[in-house]
Amino acid sequence: MSTPKISDAVAGGVVSTVEQTISRRRSEGGGALIGYLPVGFPTLTESIDAAVALVANGVDIIELGLPYSDPVMDGPVIQAATQQALANGFKLRHGFEAIRAITAQVDAPVLVMTYWNPVVQYGVERFADDLRAAGGAGLITPDLIPDEAGDWMEASIRTGLDRVFLAAPSSSDARLIQAIEASRGFVYTVSTMGTTGARAGVDAAARILVERLRAVGCTSACVGLGISTPEQVREILGYADGAIVGSALVKALTDGGVPAVARLALQLAAGAQDIRPASSPG
C-alpha cells in the first residue's frame, strides 16, 4: 500500500480545503496566514467570536486548539488560557460545537490542534466522523508522530480529513520524508527547538528546515512557534507556504478581548500580502 503524499489533495473523495487555500494564497502573490485560538477561552462564545474575527480580518486558516490538561508543546500564554478553559468546564463536545458555529459564519478551513489522548478516549473513528460532520478540516497532532499514527491514518483517509504532522530542526531527513508522506494539508514546520510563545526573532533554523523539507519534496510547509508580528509573517512567507501565529493572538484575546484579536489579525494579514508577484509558481 502506498502512503498518500501531501500533494494528493483528494482523499476519501474530499478535497483538502487547506491545500486549496494555501495554493490560492500563493497564486494571489501572498502566503497563508494561520491563526491559533483555543476553544472555550475566555468563554465558549467569545472563543467562537474571536475565531470568526480572525477570518473577517484576513486570517486564511483557523487552528482551533482543544484544551488539554498536559500540553507539553505549549508555553506559558497558551497553557494559562487552556487551563482557564478547562477550569470553566470545557468538554470535547464544545470543540465540535465551536467548529459548527465558526464554519456556519465563515468559510475558512478549521483545523483542530489536539494532543492525542482526548482523541483516543473519544474514539479515533468516532472523533474523525464527528469532526467531519461538524465541518472541520483535519487535525494537527503535536504529540503524535507518524510512527504511532496507524489508527489516525486509517480514520483520516476514510473521512478525507487532513493530517498535519510536525517537522523539527532536529528531525533527520528520513523523518522529514516520513512527515511529508504522512501529512495532508501541510507539514507543521517547527521554527525553533522549544514550545509555543512569542520570540523577538524567528530562528534561522526555520528557513533552513523549510529548505531541507523542499529538498526532499515538500510542497506545503507552514512555519509555527514564536511568530507574533507582521514583519515576522512577511519574512517567513518569503520562503514558506504559511505562517502560524498562536500565543500573540491568545495574548491579545487575554488583554483586549475580541476587538484586540481583530486588530492584530488585520495587522498580521497585511504582512501576508504582496510577498511575490501574483500567479507566479510557488
Partner 1 sequence: MSLRNESLRLQSGPYFGEFGGRFVPESLVAALDELTAEYELAKKDPAFAAALMELHRNYTGRPSIITEVPRFAEYAGGARIILKREDLNHTGSHKINNALGQALLTKRIGKTRVIAETGAGQHGVATATVAALFGLECVVYMGEVDTERQALNVARMRLLGAEVVPVKTGSRTLKDAINDAMRDWVTNVETTNYIFGTVAGPHPFPAMVRDFQKIIGEEARQQVLDLTGSLPDAVTACVGGGSNAMGIFHAFLDDADVALFGYEAAGDGVETLRHAATITKGRPGVLHGARSMLLQDEDGQTVESHSISAGLDYPGVGPEHAWLSSIGRATYLPITDDEAMSALRLLSRTEGIIPAIESSHALAGTLELGRALGPEATILVNLSGRGDKDMETAGRYFDLLDEGAEQS
Q: Which residues participate in catalysis according to the annotation?
A: 63, 74
Where does this chain bind partner 1 (CB under 8 A)?
Answer: 68-73, 75, 79, 83, 86, 91-92, 116-122, 142-145, 147-148, 165-172, 175, 179, 190, 193-195
Q: Residue 157 and residue 105: Cα distance in Å, rounded? A: 27
Backbone angles phi, psi at 224, to 5 degrees: -135, 170
Nearer residue to partner 1 within complex by CB, 221 or 258: 221
Work out how close the CB of 113 gets to partner 1 at its nearest, in angstroms, rounded to a whole number: 12
Closest of 30, 14, 11 to residue 22, by C-alpha: 30
3-state SS class at 136: coil
**Bond prior to 4 in cis (omega within 30° of 0):** no
Q: Supply the DSSP string of 182-244, one letter for each residue.
A: H-BS-EEEE-SSS-SS--SS--HHHHHHHHHHHHTT-S-EEEESS--SHHHHHHHHTTSSEEE
Would residue 188 be called left, alpha or beta, if left means φ above 0 and alpha means ψ between -120 and 50 degrees? beta
Cell, residue 243: 505562517
Q: Of the two residues 119 and 253, which places its CB atom closer to partner 1 in the complex?
A: 119
Q: How far is the CB of 76 from partner 1 (least distance, A)?
A: 8
What is the smallest separation between the CB atom of 116 and partner 1, expressed in angstroms? 5
